[in-house]
Structure 1
Amino acid sequence: MKKSTVLASLLPLVAADSDAPNSQIRIAYHGDDGMMVSWNTFDHVPRPSVFWGRSKEHLTNVASSAVSVTYPTSTTYNNHVLIKGLRPDTTYYYLPAQLNEDVCYEPFNFTTSRRVGDKTPFSVAVVADLGTMGPKGLSTTAGTGVAPNNVLKPGEKTTVDSLVSSMGDYEFLWHVGDIAYADYWLKEEIQGFLPNTTVEEGYKVYEAILNDFYNEMMPVTAAKAYMVGPGNHEANCDNGGTSDKAHNITYDLSICMPGQTNFTGFKNHFRMPSDISRGTGNFWYSWNSGMAHFIQLDTETDLGHGFIGPDEIGGTEGEGASPVNAKMNAQVNWLEADLKAVDRSATPWIIVGGHRPWYLSHANVTGTICWSCKDVFEPLFIKYGVDLVLSGHAHVYERQAPIADQKIDPKELNNPTSPWYITNGAAGHYDGLDALQSPRQEYSRFGLDTSNATYGWSKLTFHNATHLTHDFIASNNNAVLDSATLYKSHKTTGNGHHYGW
């Protein structure tokens, strides 16, 4: 059968709709020889397919799957197809077969991950707490209760704008939790930012916010691997089930729809490479690129004791939490095995991302700091010489000194033996930014918060096996507002494993 005939047989699966979202195309690394391609349709697709090739004129290969999944209250289906047998660090063109008929799509392109051990310098972009921009999220106006400093100035570029305009400066985008903030729909209605709807119709607002976010992100996520991890807003209904004491409001958990609880939308929307890193779904996994080993952790569940307690999620016990079960220490055991297997001669850098911080100068310590995360993860970070730990959750930017067990490493960034900690949850969402405490913690080295009214993202640059730079990029003008370089000697033994930590 000719290619054109095959393509025609697969196409007519998206209904025409003037309010239709685009196809929300997103890709994710699957080793250095594979790429997961995901997109959304309005109807179930029996055989999701992607045409691909080395040039946009010759999409002579096709990859297919049987994965077209949804959940109650979702307005779309999530389709996932893995393209295998690719070359590392190589550009390919691709086009999912089942796209909106009303849009004429040109083939997209991506570049596969760098081969493990490639010592060529490269940069990556990192965000956390990035929400929908525009009329359903962060905008030039907001509802009652949002600080004036937290709305956008007229014409101000957002973090999404900045990421799009900077695409030539990084190889992939890493989002360490809190994606879209669709669960803010009720809060935005109560505060008068969105028109009120009924509880029965609330799911439409929730899904509309999600669709807007993935539409906005598609210029990046269709071209750059989009690696994600879980945050609390992927799991719970904290704007529909906890009290807003500042405004004397109590919400009713019964309004929460399935996609808004228990990571349901997050589990359906993404396919991270946990199958090849022996992790768990989109929750904890690892991947290599060039001279770095990246680890995504889950700070929301499975911290050795099974779940985060009510004091640390800031809500009712069990919101977004998994029950205690026979696999009590699954994540911790996986993390140690993963760290132990890293060959530091090939990937000298180990970078960890997790949503919640434990070192932070934050005014609301009780609801922000994750001491359980520290108790479970920090000993392994120290034991295996993790270089950098990235987090969000607090809507601030703070670069800290290298720290171990609450003690500042005397060598600071000059070959420390302790992990370096950076929290950047300043990407922007409807509520805006938080405040750092004053004075800041002794280990704090630079900070930005709501008083600075500056949204931004992180760029990591791996110069070589010993030097790594972190930059805070201001979204409004792409200026570097903070920059620091870590030096690590990364001594190795003959078998490639580190020593001397």
Structure 2
Amino acid sequence: MKKGTVLAALLPLAAAADDDAANSQIRIAYHGDDGMMVSWNTFDHVARPSVFWGRSKEHLVNVASSAVSVTYPTSTTYNNHVLIKGLKPDTTYYYLPAQLNEDVCYEPFNFTTSRKAGDKTPFSVAVVADLGTMGARGLTTSAGTGVSGNNVLKPGEKNTIDSLISNMGGYEFLWHVGDIAYADYWLKEEIQGFLPNTTVEEGYKVYEAILNDFYNEMMPVTASKAYMVGPGNHEANCDNGGTADKAHNMTYDLSICMPGQTNFTGYKNHFRMPSDVSGGTGNFWYSWDSGMAHFIQLDTETDLGHGFVGPDEVGGTEGEGASPVNGKMNAQIKWLEADLESVDRSRTPWIVVGGHRPWYLSHENVTGTICWSCKDVFEPLFLRYGVDLVLSGHAHVYERQAPIADLKIDPRELDNPSSPWYITNGAAGHYDGLDALQSPRQAYSRFGLDTANATYGWSKLTFHNCTHLTHEFVASSDDAVLDTATLYKKRRCVDGGRGGGRW
């Protein structure tokens, strides 16, 4: 939304400003190794969002400010974004946004900046996909009609957000590769009798309440750990949990689509990813370095025949709701090749790619789960530039595959393969959130969990050195590691000059 735009067309923000949105939904994101983006929400527009910061919580002697306080029609909050610059890599800082809820007494928060590229210290990161709201408006011990008992929590069972919070000391940042909050499930939850019915006109309050719940629940993690995100189909378009057509006998009835549900509008308002550092595009495709790894976030929802359903094809609303690709159909692929070409493998030997939709998976493609167009455009570049690991979600299952190239299993498996290693983990959890793997599984499948196992969980990546990378599936219920595997790459662990992106 352009600066100075009149917001008179917005529904009153106070209408849904209840105690569930009382905390400020703080979330941070890396901006290179010398910056951190701080984002938070307020009920009112902030003319000059500001963040006080310093090396100790008693001396917040610095201030960073911006003019970015944005919203969209029917949103119940404004999203404020401030970049803190001039920081040192791998250093802890304390900070406090100036315009927080006056009814809450906040202590200064803290974060640690990204490791400098080339730092060979071992480290771990947490990865999720398809993670939604927990509790009374999301995943809990009950659900509506037609939901499998395997897809709800047992009484007293920890959920994935609980597990991420309790394990914060074990990872450096959280990477969420698409499908965030599942606020567009509001209609599905009402139709199934899980939530009380409301009118179409009042539906935005339910949508925003679910969204606010999620960011509130995540804040213990996202206020101190960089929260790096990518787009999924639930950020892209309006399908109301797949029920819009059933409820209204049409594919997309605009009268039940919140503005935040269409054309990535809510996603673009809530986040500021470091695309300007890497030459990417908004929150859609970008990359960043940390220690011995180069991370790439891709967009599987645009530029490849997905997303932009109905009115989104014409670019949506002006400003924050505008099309991220502006019709440039090869923009992402050209950027990806240039990014991979520029990777210095002597400094960041590992290349890890995240994108929402998979193309290698033991899952029937009845609802477009398998993204063959993604394979067609991305896989040749992954092979050419020696990508090590590809992470995805979308299917609400966990499956670790063998390294694969063009549907062929790499004969060396995890012992110095020349093909990328593929892992899909969409089992983080949300309302009714587990699917089934097909049986028998594909020949390249090495381990799988699905609704039959009634297990939610997240991924943990550990970079030991330049040759060994371990992936673990962590069960949210008890933090047990249910699957672990280590990838070995034969290469020399040396510092030095620019190595180039090609193998």
Under a length normalisation based on structure 1, what TM-score does the superposition of the two structures give? 0.92
* 2:167 alignment counterpart: 166
Cα distance change on mapping 1:96 and 1:474 into 2, 3 Å: same
Can you list the C-alpha shifts for 1:387-427, whole angstroms capped at 9, x where unaligned? Answer: 00000000000000000111100000000000000000000
Give, in whole Å, the separation in 1 of the partners of 2:238 and 2:248: 18
User: Matches of residues 452-471 of structure 1 in structure 2 within 5 Å?
Assistant: 452-471=453-472
Choose 291-300 or 484-493, whichever is displaced more.
Answer: 484-493
Give, in whole Å, the separation in 2 of the partners of 1:324 and 1:35: 25
Contact 1:236 1:319 in 2 (8 A): no
Question: Which amino acid in structure 2 is aligned with residue 121 of structure 1?
Answer: P
Question: Which amino acid in structure 2 is aligned with residue 434 of structure 1?
Answer: D
Question: Which amino acid in structure 2 is aligned with residue 471 of structure 1?
Answer: E
* 1:358 alignment counterpart: 359
* 1:308 alignment counterpart: 306
User: Matches of residues 62-211 of structure 1 in structure 2 within 5 Å?
Assistant: 62-211=63-212
* 2:274 alignment counterpart: 273
Contact 1:21 1:211 in 2 (8 A): no
* 1:235 alignment counterpart: 236
Question: Which amino acid in structure 1 is aligned with residue 22 of structure 2?
Answer: P
* 2:264 alignment counterpart: 263
Cα distance change on mapping 1:400 and 1:317 into 2, 3 Å: farther
Question: Which amino acid in structure 1 is aligned with residue 289 of structure 2?
Answer: N
* 1:47 alignment counterpart: 48
TM-aligned CA deviation for residue 27 of structure 1:
0.2
TM-aligned CA deviation for residue 241 of structure 1:
7.1
Give, in whole Å, the separation in 1 of the partners of 2:497 and 2:171: 32
Contact 1:162 1:475 in 2 (8 A): yes
Question: Which amino acid in structure 1 is aligned with residue 452 of structure 2?
Answer: S
* 1:412 alignment counterpart: 413
Contact 1:235 1:319 in 2 (8 A): no
* 1:440 alignment counterpart: 441
* 1:345 alignment counterpart: 346
Contact 2:302 2:325 in 1 (8 A): no
Can you list the C-alpha shifts for 1:349-392, whole angstroms capped at 9, x where unaligned? Answer: 00000000000001345520000100010000000000000000
Choose 181-190 or 364-373, whichever is displaced more.
Answer: 364-373
* 2:391 alignment counterpart: 390
Can you list the C-alpha shifts for 1:84-128, whole angstroms capped at 9, x where unaligned? Answer: 000000000000000001100000000000011000000000000
Can you list the C-alpha shifts for 1:262-302, whole angstroms capped at 9, x where unaligned? Answer: 10000000000001100000000000000000000000001
TM-aligned CA deviation for residue 490 of structure 1:
3.7
* 1:8 alignment counterpart: none
Give, in whole Å, the separation in 2 of the partners of 1:423 and 1:240: 21
TM-aligned CA deviation for residue 237 of structure 1:
1.3
TM-aligned CA deviation for residue 238 of structure 1:
1.2
Give, in whole Å, the separation in 2 of the partners of 1:202 and 1:166: 35
TM-aligned CA deviation for residue 324 of structure 1:
8.3
| Corresponding position: 1:496 with 2:485 | no
Helix, strand or coil for the counterpart of 1:276?
helix
Helix, strand or coil for the counterpart of 2:187?
helix
Contact 1:362 1:437 in 2 (8 A): yes
Helix, strand or coil for the counterpart of 2:104?
coil
Which runs of 5 or more structure 2 residues have no equivalent in the other structure?
1-13, 317-322
Give, in whole Å, the separation in 1 of the partners of 2:501 and 2:328: 30
Aligned residues: 480
| Corresponding position: 1:427 with 2:425 | no
Please provide the CA RMSD for this pair: 2.3
Helix, strand or coil for the counterpart of 1:266?
helix
Contact 1:146 1:432 in 2 (8 A): no
Give, in whole Å, the separation in 2 of the partners of 1:56 and 1:242: 48
Give, in whole Å, the separation in 1 of the partners of 2:314 and 2:124: 36
Question: Which amino acid in structure 2 is aligned with residue 308 of structure 1?
Answer: H
Question: Which amino acid in structure 2 is aligned with residue 401 of structure 1?
Answer: A
State, as a whole percentage, how many aligned pairs show the same letter.
85
Helix, strand or coil for the counterpart of 1:367?
coil
Cα distance change on mapping 1:241 and 1:461 into 2, 3 Å: closer
* 1:474 alignment counterpart: 475
Give, in whole Å, the separation in 2 of the partners of 1:427 and 1:18: 26
* 1:23 alignment counterpart: 24
Give, in whole Å, the separation in 1 of the partners of 2:361 and 2:91: 39
Contact 1:292 1:348 in 2 (8 A): yes
Helix, strand or coil for the counterpart of 1:484?
strand
Give, in whole Å, the separation in 1 of the partners of 2:462 and 2:245: 40
Give, in whole Å, the separation in 2 of the partners of 1:218 and 1:482: 28
Contact 1:125 1:170 in 2 (8 A): yes
Question: Which amino acid in structure 1 is aligned with residue 465 of structure 2?
Answer: N
Helix, strand or coil for the counterpart of 1:37?
strand
Choose 485-494 or 162-171, whichever is displaced more.
Answer: 485-494
Choose 447-456 or 484-493, whichever is displaced more.
Answer: 484-493
Contact 2:178 2:233 in 1 (8 A): yes
Cα distance change on mapping 1:326 and 1:42 into 2, 3 Å: closer
Can you list the C-alpha shifts for 1:44-101, whole angstroms capped at 9, x where unaligned? Answer: 0000000000000000000000000001100000000000000000000000000001
Contact 1:241 1:253 in 2 (8 A): no
Question: Which amino acid in structure 2 is aligned with residue 497 of structure 1?
Answer: G
Question: Which amino acid in structure 1 is aligned with residue 487 of structure 2?
Answer: L
Which runs of 5 or more structure 1 residues have no equivalent in the other structure?
1-13
Helix, strand or coil for the counterpart of 2:185?
helix
Under a length normalisation based on structure 2, what TM-score does the superposition of the two structures give? 0.91
Give, in whole Å, the separation in 1 of the partners of 2:413 and 2:369: 25
Helix, strand or coil for the counterpart of 1:208?
helix
Helix, strand or coil for the counterpart of 1:27?
strand
